[in-house]
A and B are shown apart, each in its own frame.
Chain A
Amino acid sequence: MFTPSSPPSAVQAVLARDKLGTLSLLHFSLTAATPLTVIAGGVVVMFALAGQIGIPLGYLIIAVCLWLFSVGYTTMSRHITNAGAFYAFIARGIGRIPGVAAAWVAATSYCAMQISLYGLLGLTAQSVLARMGIDWPWWVCALAAWLLIGLLGTRAVDINAKVLAILLTIEIAVILLFSASNFANAADGVPLAAMSPSTLGGEAAGAMLALAVTGFIGFESPTVYGEEAKDRRRTVARATLATVGILAFIYIASSWSIIAAVGADGVVDAAIADPSLMFTLAGDQLGAPWAIIGEVMLLTSVTAAALSFHNTTARYLFALGREHVAPAWLGRTSPRTSAPVAASLTQTAVSGAVIIAWAALGLDPRVHLFYYMSTSAGIGLLALIATCAVAVVVYFARDRRGESLWASRIAPILSVIALLWVLYLSILHFHTLLGVEKGSTLPVLVPILFAGLAILGAGWGAFLKSARPQVYAGIGHGAKAALITAKAEPAEVAGV
């Protein structure tokens, strides 16, 4: 009889050699997040748009929501294949038709989020080049980055991961240095008022929470590696919760430090006047070269963010292609690198077309491309996470599968309540996020667009159910769809 104390066989020893620990999974999830982009590109904008100082509190609320969500999410991931894709959880929890609807919303949201970053990227590169005396329009810089990202996206992802890891390490070091400097040069001491619940009220609360969610995207990635984890029960949960905790610490500390450096009364006006407030503060406190270093780091950070979202979008499209939920050619891999080459090139083509269209129409890259598109994608992703939370509750409502009451019932229900509340506020206050008047068409148009996509996706799912049952059976299984469809398809007679 095999017992845990028995020495492992040669085969098991070889298989165990390749297993991942918590730190390895943490590396993958943190490289999917790019904190400097969130802080320098997003936080200052949030101060300016929301006109409030409750941003650290907003990050704290979202971190708690995602922590609650992660408990049920990582628990369910142990019981399903294709863990890591939100739509797979929805397909297994609520049903395959809602799963296809979620897949369409997810692919569009990730695609929009990635494209939006080219606006910020183009502007940041333009600013860095201007310091060197080179005057290039934003779209030329964006297209150069687009070419680089398109090329890296078709290469083996482990090359990308090494690049991202180096950038992330430098990024976090720069953020912590700038934050420490801000606290050391505080205008009126540490502003405890910034963490008061009263700072997060009015018409902008939902807008801030929606933007805060986008900063944490990537926290879900440890579940992708669940089957390769040393201990599927503990390693994935630890890595996911640690990712949320580390990102929350960085975001709260750095946004709070900006309030401390400028002062609670003046931070909104300062953010409106200077979109590069974080680097201006660093330049004043640490010396002018640090502002340049910060700006260069922001450029690499946005590039890394765009690359990370490019890979995420490509993998989503690839998984959908493999399931035949999207055109099957999207499921093609590069023989040499095993990268999802067709999906990657599709994302590259779409983003290239958007950059060219924005340049041709003379639209503002910061407002119309970065702000509008990223915030719209944020709403889509928030709706996706909230629906996934509902799926976790439904999944464990049928059978607890031996999991604890906390992990299978209490935490998932609390996360549903919290996330639906955040989603409601975000949609209600979406006009603030976009900087338009209440009652304008645009804030209504975005949720309608996502709802329309979901309905179309559900319609496609219903069609697959009746017309292609073997494809329908594989929905939500991603890379493993081949195993399901192989069993579902009828055997042919040889020689026919």
Chain B
Amino acid sequence: MPDVPSPRLVYDALLITSLDDAYKPATGPRVTGLGVGSALLAELVLSQQLIVWADKGVDLVCMDYGGNGERYRPPADSLALWLIEHVRAERTSLSVRDWLDFLSAADVYTKTADHMAMVGLMVRREYRSRWRQRVEIGYEPSDPLIANAAFSRLRRHLSLAEPNLSIEDAFLLALTDAVGLSKPLYNQLPSGARVYAGKRRQALPAALRAVLAHLAAAVADIAITGGR
């Protein structure tokens, strides 16, 4: 059994999708939820807590109990535990798309941002809306360098065509593309950057490629149905 997974992937996904600056817009709330949700699923697949397998053409998510009779060990990370407990509670395996929709609808963004606030990466702020007379909650990075770190790292990988790219960063590259941030991601980079990113995506484990394909399909569905 591997160690407790690093929550870095889901944190980076949140920073990339939800924060905007002069060079990169933030994605809409639903797309952010889908992006963060897919990163959380990917983390649990990489830490061998979950597996994605195709049954009759449907990609299903289920618990990875391993084949050597090991007992179930819950993840120590509370965010991962929250999702794992939901997966375990299901009587039948649900599809990747169902889990992405659930994570988005269950506000995985807020849960992740709260988690990041606990470890000091984000700051939770309350705003009182003057017109709506309501308290609204927002999250800001505790340090501006943290906000840009993940996106800058991805662009550096692309510009250098880094040969030893980690699986997590290869996944983040594809995730950034899938949520609609390809324009700022590839802006002013050499033309070979897209080919490089495409090859890295194709080199990912099949389970992660399936999660990314469902993420791209979910984002495209929002464009077609208007995210009604």
Interface, chain A (partner B; CB < 8 A): 2, 6, 9-11, 14-15, 17-18, 20, 24, 28, 84, 156-158, 160-161, 224-225, 227-228, 311, 315, 318-319, 322, 331-340, 478-483, 486-487, 489-496
**Cβ–Cβ contact A160 & B180, under 8 A:** no
Within the assembled complex, what's the spacing in Å between the Cα atoms of A332 and B181?
9
Residues from chain A with a CB closer than 8 A to the CB of B217 are 479-483
Flag if B209 contacts A339 (CB, 8 Å).
no
Cβ-defined contact, B106 with A14, below 8 A: yes
B178-214 interface code vs A (CB 8 A; 1 in, 0 out): 1111110000000000000001101100100110111
**Residue contact A224 to B203, C-beta cutoff 8 Å:** no
Name the B residues within 8 Å of A2 (CB-CB). 91-92
Report the minimal beta-carbon distance from B2 to chain A, rounded to whole angstroms: 19
- Of chain A, the residue at the smallest CB distance from B167 is A494
- In the complex, residue of chain B having the shortest beta-carbon distance to the beta carbon of A20: B228
User: Known: A9-B91, A486-B209. Is A333-B223 also a contact (CB below 8 A)?
Assistant: yes
Q: Which of B26-34, B39-47, B63-71, B149-157 contacts A (4 or more CB under 8 A)?
A: B26-34
Q: Are B228 and A338 in contact (CB under 8 A)?
A: no
Q: Is the CB of B227 within 8 A of A157?
A: yes
Residue of A nearest to B214 (CB): A483
Give every chain A residue within 8 A of B28 (Cβ-Cβ).
156, 335-338
Question: Chain A nearest CB: distance from B82 CB in Å?
Answer: 11
A15-B101, A486-B213, A491-B203 known; 7 new pairs, CB 8 Å cut-off, are A9-B86, A11-B98, A228-B225, A333-B180, A340-B223, A478-B220, A489-B202
**B98 contacts A479, CB within 8 Å?**
no
A490 CA / B201 CA spacing, docked (Å): 11
Cross-chain contact A319 with B224 (CB below 8 angstroms): yes
Whether the pair A18, B101 counts as a contact (CB closer than 8 A) is yes
Chain B positions within 8 Å of A11 at CB level: 86, 89-90, 94, 98-99, 102
Contact of B226 among A17, A156, A336, A495 (CB under 8 A): A156
Known contacts A161-B226, A495-B203, A333 near B219 by CB under 8 Å: yes
Closest CB of chain A to B28's CB: distance in Å?
5
Q: How far is the CB of B181 from chain A (nearest CB, A)?
A: 5
Of the candidates A161, A315, A335, which one forms a contact with B25 in the assembled complex, judged by CB atoms under 8 Å apart?
Answer: A335
| A335 lies within 8 A of B27 (CB) | yes
Name the contact of A492 in the complex, choosing from B94, B203, B219 (C-beta under 8 A).
Answer: B203
A-B contact pairs, 25 of them (CB 8 A): A11-B94, A11-B99, A28-B228, A157-B225, A161-B226, A228-B225, A332-B180, A334-B180, A335-B25, A336-B27, A338-B28, A338-B180, A338-B222, A338-B223, A479-B217, A479-B224, A480-B217, A486-B209, A489-B202, A491-B202, A491-B209, A492-B200, A494-B203, A495-B164, A495-B203
Q: Which residue in chain B gives the minimum CB-CB distance to A343?
A: B223
Least CB separation from B179: chain A residue: A335
User: Does B221 sit within 8 A of A, measured CB to CB?
Assistant: yes
Is A333 in contact with B203, judged by CB distance below 8 angstroms?
A: no
Q: Is B163 at the interface (CB under 8 A from chain A)?
A: yes
How far in angstroms is the closest Cβ of chain B from A224?
6
Roughly how many angstroms separate A311 CA and B227 CA in the complex, as a whole number? Answer: 13
Q: How far is the CB of A463 from chain B (nearest CB, A)?
A: 21
Which residues does chain A contribute within 8 Å of B209, judged by CB atoms? 486, 491
Q: Are A160 and B226 in contact (CB under 8 A)?
A: yes
| B1 at the binding interface (Cβ < 8 Å) | no
B81 / chain A contacts, CB cutoff of 8 Å: none
A156 to B226, CA, bound (A): 6
Complex interface: chain A residues within 8 A of B213 (CB): 482-483, 486-487
Q: For A494, what are the chain B residues with a Cβ–Cβ distance below 8 Å?
A: 200, 203
| Pair A158/B227 contact, Cβ less than 8 Å | yes
- Evaluate contact between A486 and B27: CB separation under 8 angstroms: no
Chain B residue nearest to A321 in the complex (CB): B220
- From A318, A322, A332, A335, B26 is in contact (CB under 8 Å) with A335
The reply to whether A225 and B225 contact each other, CB–CB distance below 8 Å, is: yes
Beyond A156-B28, A315-B223, A338-B222, whether A332 also contacts B86 by CB under 8 A is no
Residues from chain A with a CB closer than 8 A to the CB of B222 are: 333, 338
What is the bound-complex CA distance between A324 and B99, given in angstroms? Answer: 27
Cα of A418 to Cα of B128 in the assembled complex, Å: 62
With A338-B31, A338-B222, A478-B220 known to touch, is A161 a contact of B105 (CB < 8 Å)? no
Q: A335-B28, A489-B202 are in contact. Are A224 and B225 (CB under 8 A)?
A: yes
Q: Looking at the assembled complex, report how far the CB atom of A491 sits from the nearest CB atom of chain B, in whole angstroms.
A: 6
B89 touches A9 (CB 8 A): yes
In the complex, what residues of A have CB within 8 A of residue B221's CB?
227, 479
Q: Is the CB of B183 within 8 A of A224?
A: no
The CA-CA distance from A170 to B6 in the complex, in Å, is 56
A478, B28: Cα distance in complex, Å: 21
Nearest B residue to A486 by beta-carbon distance?
Answer: B213
Is the pair A332, B105 in contact by a Cβ cutoff of 8 Å? no
Q: How far is the CA of A331 from the CA of B219 in the complex (A)?
A: 11
Q: How far is the CA of A486 from the CA of B203 in the complex (A)?
A: 12
- Of chain A, the residue at the smallest CB distance from B227 is A338
- Is there a chain A Cβ closer than 8 Å to B60's Cβ? no
Which chain B residues lie closer than 8 Å to A478 at the CB level? 220, 224
Instruction: Determine if B202 and A490 form an interchain contact, defined as CB atoms under 8 angstroms apart.
Output: yes
Q: Is B50 an interface residue (CB 8 A)?
A: no
Q: Which residues of B contact A480 (CB under 8 A)?
A: 217, 220
Chain B residues lying within 8 Å of A9, measured Cβ to Cβ, are 86, 89-91
Residues of chain B within 8 A of A161, CB atoms compared? 226, 228
B residues in contact with A492, CB < 8 Å: 199-200, 202-203
For the complex of A and B, the 4 pairs showing the least CB-CB separation, nearest first, are A157-B226, A479-B220, A492-B202, A486-B213
Query: Known contacts being A161-B226, A335-B26, is A15 close to B105, with CB within 8 Å?
Result: yes
Which partner residue on chain A sits nearest B24 by CB separation? A335
A304 to chain B, nearest CB (A): 15
Q: In residues 79-108 of chain B, which contact A (Cβ within 8 Å)?
A: 86, 89-92, 94, 98-99, 101-102, 105-106
Which B-chain residue is minimally distant from A323 (CB atoms)? B220
> Given the complex, which residues of A lie within 8 Å of B92, measured CB to CB?
2
Bound CA span A489–B178, Å: 17
B90 CB to closest chain A CB, in angstroms?
Answer: 6
Interface assignment of B216: CB less than 8 Å from any CB of chain A = yes
Closest partner residue, chain A, to B59 (CB atom): A483
Question: Which residue in chain B gives the minimum CB-CB distance to A493?
Answer: B203
Known: A11-B98, A336-B28. A482 touches B220 (CB 8 A): yes
Residues of A within 8 A of B212 (CB): 486
Assess the B203–A17 pair: CB atoms within 8 A.
no
With A156-B28, A495-B164 known as contacts, the answer to whether A318 contacts B223 (CB < 8 A) is: yes
Which chain B positions have C-beta within 8 A of A224? 224-225
- Contact, CB under 8 Å: B105 / A18: yes
> For the complex, what is the distance from the CA of A6 to the CA of B91, rounded to whole Å?
10
